[in-house]
Structure 1
Amino acid sequence: MNLKQVIEGTDTRAGRAFDLSIQVLIVLSLVAFSVETLPDLPKSAQIFLRWVETVSVVIFTVEYLLRLIVAKRKLRFATSFFGVIDLLAILPFYLSLGIDLRSVRAFRLLRLFRILKLARYSQAVRRFHRALLIAREELVLFGVVSSILLYLSAVGIYFFEREAQPEAFASVFHSLWWSVATLTTVGYGDVYPVTTGGRCFTFAVLLVGLGVVSVPAGLVASALSKAREQENP
């Protein structure tokens, strides 16, 4: 058994133990991150949480370096999705050591990237990634068409409502918020049309929005079926 089998393999007891240990540590560090936000934490609890964070970062750093060492193409690993996630999982800790404390809170948010490390150990997530690759061209086209629809709906509601509600629909850019909320069928209700033309236009946009929401779900579902077929030819 070599180091690569332990770090990247799942067919050995040592490899499975390594993976499980990292997963437990990821969950533990995320729980510690959440507990840190509680008000009026005792000093002892704060010290313990800092200790948990330090130990977690040390282990994650060793894991990152080991994965880099066993990788055949080190640059490719470093720039890969999981390579970047592994780096972002430890980077906030080291950056906060040499930065003014007022900036530390912003870097702490980067610790949430650790939750993405769990994707490495999930077969379902890997299958979903393959599905996105299968449907990437259709999803890109859907994104372009959706952007055009967002813009057109923002322009339309702007011309219908700008005189009746000059503050809510002051420009096309202001109207984009309404456009997003309506096309995605969320409809927060904070901005809504009051003119007859605006209401008719909104009804049409809502009908289009129902189709817009369902398209990516269908694309991904179809791609997931193809990805599963590739696993079990």
Structure 2
Amino acid sequence: MPGILSSLLAAVHRFGPYVLAVNMILYFIELQYTQTRSSLDAGAWAGFIWIERVIAGFFTLEYVLRIKLAPHKGKYLRSGLGLIDLVSILPFWIGFYPGLTQEQLGLVRGARTLRLLKMFRYSPKLAEFARSMYTNRVRVIPIFLITIMYLMISSTVIYEVERRAQPEVFNVYGDSIWWAVVTSTTVGYGDKYPVTPLGQGATVLMMMVGIGIVGMIFGFFADSFHDSRQPLEPTLMEEYCRGVREEGTEGRTVQALRQTHRSNPQFLIFADTVDRYIG
């Protein structure tokens, strides 16, 4: 029975990216015609609903299989990929709750786009990138704290300086936070801007600091992307695989690794590395 479930999960994992692509395409087509729903043929609208049900059932089956085959079920449920698997199907099942308003139902339908996060499971490159970001997570904390401090200081300064000169523009503190975010990214929508000399001078300084902070953030992502493209440390792996090769058990070893991967796709990088060194 576990072998059948493992084979079924492997098939689901293989077709997952294609199902996800079809799901997103149909969802955006559905969005295009949402405003004209009354003019849609009833059969066509029912088709959208049933396709969504089939796709949600597909991802629900994947989630159940992964729970069933996970060696440590609690660890899987708390893992990042486990949470992504849950979030990808949760909006569909919440949609059956009868007490939802039209606005809430629209929000639930929109949450289906969270299924795109499953690409971190289906794409080995994205998985490596996410793993690299997690490895470098200690660098995120100071960047996050610096960003928060900058936004708090800049929004408070501009609010105190400009609210008397432009009470209709900087009416509440939230207006200055919006301005600080827009200014720090140098987007500059132009809906809010300082008119006092002190406010304009402070804005110039804040823009310069904001550019530096944005540079730090992009630098972190660039480093994570670079690290994700670096090969794994080969020394121990080469020694292990050389011993496997000499004993003539490489076929059984690779087969066992692939079997493990079917129940735990996070094993992909290790299995691929062994495959490459054994040849």
What TM-score do the two structures reach when normalised by structure 2?
Answer: 0.74
> SS at the partner of 2:95?
helix
Q: Report the alpha carbon displacement of residue 76 of structure 1 after superposing the two structures with TM.
A: 1.3
Task: Report matched runs for 1:175-190 at 5 Å.
Answer: 175-190=176-191
CA RMSD of aligned residues (A): 2.1
> SS at the partner of 1:231?
coil
Q: What is the distance in 2 between the residues matched to 1:134 and 1:101?
A: 40
Identify the residue that residue 50 of structure 2 maps to in structure 1: 51
Identify the residue that residue 94 of structure 2 maps to in structure 1: 95
Aligned-pair identity in percent equals 32
Q: Which residues of structure 1 form unaligned runs of 5+? A: 9-14
Q: What is the distance in 2 between the residues matched to 1:149 and 1:74?
A: 42
Identify the residue that residue 71 of structure 1 maps to in structure 2: 70
Q: What is the distance in 1 between the residues matched to 2:225 and 2:100?
A: 45
Against the structure 1 CA distance between its residues 96 and 158, is the aligned structure 2 distance closer, same or farther, given a 3 Å change threshold? closer
Greater relative CO (CA pairs within 8 A, separation 6+): 2
Say whether 1:197 aligns with 2:191: no
8 Å CA contact 2:170–2:176 kept in 1: the answer is: yes
Q: Report the alpha carbon displacement of residue 36 of structure 1 after superposing the two structures with TM.
A: 2.0
Identify the residue that residue 116 of structure 1 maps to in structure 2: 117
Identify the residue that residue 263 of structure 2 maps to in structure 1: none
Question: What residue identity is the alignment partner of 1:170?
Answer: N
Question: What residue identity is the alignment partner of 2:48?
Answer: L
8 Å CA contact 2:184–2:210 kept in 1: the answer is: yes
Against the structure 1 CA distance between its residues 159 and 54, is the aligned structure 2 distance closer, same or farther, given a 3 Å change threshold? closer
Identify the residue that residue 23 of structure 1 maps to in structure 2: 17
8 Å CA contact 1:3–1:70 kept in 2: the answer is: no
Q: What is the distance in 2 between the residues matched to 1:22 and 1:138?
A: 33
Task: String of CA shifts for 1:92-132, please: whole Å, max 9, x gaps.
Answer: 22222232352422221221121111221112211211221
Q: What is the distance in 2 between the residues matched to 1:3 and 1:231?
A: 32
Q: Report the alpha carbon displacement of residue 181 of structure 1 after superposing the two structures with TM.
A: 0.8
Question: What residue identity is the alignment partner of 1:23?
Answer: P
> SS at the partner of 2:127?
helix
Greater CA radius of gyration, 1 or 2?
2
Identify the residue that residue 12 of structure 1 maps to in structure 2: none
Q: What is the distance in 1 between the residues matched to 2:188 and 2:213?
A: 15
What TM-score do the two structures reach when normalised by structure 1?
Answer: 0.87
Q: What is the distance in 2 between the residues matched to 1:121 and 1:231?
A: 20
Q: What is the distance in 2 between the residues matched to 1:219 and 1:96?
A: 38
Q: What is the distance in 1 between the residues matched to 2:221 and 2:122?
A: 21
Task: String of CA shifts for 1:124-146, please: whole Å, max 9, x gaps.
Answer: 21121122123212211111011
Against the structure 1 CA distance between its residues 106 and 173, is the aligned structure 2 distance closer, same or farther, given a 3 Å change threshold? closer
8 Å CA contact 1:36–1:49 kept in 2: the answer is: yes
Task: String of CA shifts for 1:182-230, please: whole Å, max 9, x gaps.
Answer: 1111111100011111111111111111111111111222233333335
Identify the residue that residue 146 of structure 2 maps to in structure 1: 145
> SS at the partner of 1:105?
helix
Length, aligned pairs only = 226
Q: Report the alpha carbon displacement of residue 18 of structure 1 after superposing the two structures with TM.
A: 3.6
Question: What residue identity is the alignment partner of 1:88?
Answer: V
Identify the residue that residue 267 of structure 2 maps to in structure 1: none
Q: Report the alpha carbon displacement of residue 6 of structure 1 after superposing the two structures with TM.
A: 3.5
Q: Report the alpha carbon displacement of residue 71 of structure 1 after superposing the two structures with TM.
A: 0.3
Task: String of CA shifts for 1:51-89, please: whole Å, max 9, x gaps.
Answer: 111111222111111111110011111222221222222
Say whether 1:165 aligns with 2:166: yes
> SS at the partner of 1:97?
coil
